[in-house]
Copies of this chain bind each other. A is one copy, B any other.
Amino acid sequence: MTGPRDRRRGRRRGGGETAPAREVDYRHLRNPFPPVPVFSEDRVGAIHDAALGVLENLGMKVLLPEARALYRAGGAVVDDASQMVRIGRDMVEAALASAPRSFTLRAGARDRDVLMELGVLTLEAGAGAPHATDLIRGRRPANLRDYRELTILTQQFDALHMLTPLVEPQDVPLNLRHYATLEAQLTLSDKFPVIFARGTPQVQDGFEMIRDFRGLSDADFAAEPWCYTIVNTNSPRQLDVPMALGLIDFARAGQMVIVTPFCLMGAMAPVTVAGALTLSHAEALAGITLTQLARPGAPVCYGAFASNVDMKSGAPAFGTPEQVRANLGAGQLARLLGLPWRCAAGCAANINDAQAAHETQMSAWGAVLAGATVVLHGAGWIEGGLSVSYEKFITDLEVLQTFAELCADMPEDDLALDALAEVAPGGHFFGCAHTMERYATAFYEPLVADWSNFGAWTEAGARDASTRATGIWQALLDNPAPLDVPPERAEALTAFIARRSAEGGAPPES
């Protein structure tokens, strides 16, 4: 954790607006923790080799004819009857040679851009939940209001570096949902946006919306990634139609794909960490290869999301020692490739309690110590991804902000020799000059922690962290940081959506 760090003034939330601001830049983090290995170097090589063997000998089932054609053109052995594609290791090696090791994600403002390379730490909230829950409104199928509110909340925290589709707005029809979600992202945030890969028409709509809203030429848009998608393989060894289309469409457009097999050990992956990572690695390599066949040099992010199931019930589990180990092992595989990579925290609790806090933090530490470039599901994700808790979003941010603090330089940190001489034995440092000069900015100021004593806390209503978090997200939604959206861009976006909606939108591919 030594060495100089890029520092700029961050915009911290949660109080202290009138106090002198601590100059800690949460927007651009480099991971200060040396990556922790879980396998020997030989073992990492063996897993990589076994994964290449899986692709070469067993192959992937690829449901999209166009993807099979691309693999075939690249030299794969393809059987259209069985849809099986056997991918030679030379093809994988060529793909790894052309995939960029470092690239910059272009957000709506330059200081929101995100560098993608090994060593960077990028934190993200949860993604993909069909339900939302909070202490005021209860648990419900997620709707567009939830999606918009959670986008606003994501915008308020510099420790969240990209937008995520926290929830599925189920009240918006699928042929129109991509308009509503992207409009929310572009008009409520200037962070790097995400598009679900649900078929070419929706994806092309999205590219067009972003290009025009950002005021880019076609060439500008194609030159750098302005949005991303996450492609999950259908483990084991299957790539479905929308996911294959996503790999191809994003690669051709020069936009970032994160290829993440979701491998639950004992369910859709082998029961051992090494076995699950062999499968996960093979599938990620298959996806990365397809992106490079579609467009050599396309920005792609290696992904791994492996945890275990409860072998009594088959239920997914997170925050387990097995997930931590899988995270650490995946980091070793990513470093072997040299690519930026995405990992994940996770939580299977049904409420924002001690279990929930334990699981998300434990798995987040696993991802951080694994050297993950992107840590997904870092805030709000509960029920194994079936719900997002507004309160957990806030309490998890305390963890993420703590990680962000640990990425920063220590504040000017002298040995305080004068103060040590000034304060008498048994005395205190509250009033000494050394303290007075620094106290206002010396320490991280918490978002939701309450450090008052039991008596004061009881008198103030004995509110637990979740209850306090409710007040925080309500206040942030009532008074979010202002965002400068050019009116003509917003109007053009509205007009585009109205026109495309009148045309019937774009039904999803399934």
Query: Chain A: residues with CB nearer than 8 A to chain B?
Result: 1-2, 32-34, 36-40, 46-47, 50, 53-54, 58, 60-61, 84, 139, 234, 236-238, 265-276, 278-279, 308, 310-311, 313-317, 319-322, 324-325, 328, 348-359, 361-362, 365, 369, 383-384, 386-387, 391-392, 395, 398-399, 402, 405-406, 410-417, 419-421, 423-430, 434-435, 438-440, 442-444, 446, 448-454, 457-458, 462, 464-466, 469
Contacts and interface: CB of A to CB of B under 8 A. Distances in A.
A274 B416 contact: yes
A349 B37 contact: no
Given A234-B426, A425-B236, A465-B349, A413 B274 contact: yes
Given A278-B420, A315-B451, 7 more contacts: A1-B328, A32-B36, A236-B429, A267-B430, A272-B412, A274-B415, A358-B449
B266 A443 contact: yes
B353 A444 contact: no
A420 B2 contact: no
A398 B443 CA distance: 29
A85 to B, nearest CB: 10
Contacts of A265: 442-443
A440 B355 CA distance: 23
Contact of A357 (B313, B361, B451): B361
20 contacts: A34-B36, A58-B420, A236-B423, A236-B428, A266-B429, A266-B439, A269-B429, A272-B416, A272-B442, A274-B413, A311-B443, A315-B453, A320-B446, A322-B444, A325-B410, A354-B357, A355-B398, A355-B448, A355-B465, A383-B453
B357 A270 contact: no
A452 B310 CA distance: 9
Given A361-B357, A430-B267, A47 B315 contact: no
Contacts of A435: 266, 270-271
A435 B355 CA distance: 27
B362 A402 contact: yes
A439 B271 contact: yes
Q: Which of the listed residues A34, A60, A328, A443 has the most CB atoms from chain B within 10 Å of its own CB?
A: A443
A464 B310 contact: no
Contacts of A351: 462, 464
A464 B50 CA distance: 42
Contact of A350 (B317, B357, B405, B457): B457
A271 B38 contact: no
A272 B410 CA distance: 9
Contact of A462 (B32, B350, B355, B358): B350
B442 A354 contact: no
B313 A452 contact: yes
Given A2-B39, A274-B414, A451-B316, A369 B430 contact: no
A314 B452 CA distance: 9
Contacts of A315: 451-453
Contacts of A469: 354
Q: Which of the listed residues A34, A238, A271, A458 has the most CB atoms from chain B within 10 Å of its own CB?
A: A271
B2 A271 contact: no
A286 B95 CA distance: 61
A275 B420 contact: yes
A266 B430 contact: yes
A270 B430 contact: no
A367 B180 CA distance: 46
Contacts of A402: 319-321, 324, 362
Nearest to A59: B425
B369 A33 contact: yes
A122 B387 CA distance: 37
Given A2-B40, A405-B321, A449-B359, A439 B311 contact: yes
Nearest 4 pairs of A and B residues by beta carbon: A275-B416, A270-B416, A357-B357, A61-B425
A311 to B, nearest CB: 4
B425 A238 contact: yes
Contacts of A361: 357-358, 361-362
Nearest to A350: B457
A322 B443 contact: yes
A343 B490 CA distance: 55
Given A321-B406, A322-B444, A429-B269, A417 B50 contact: yes
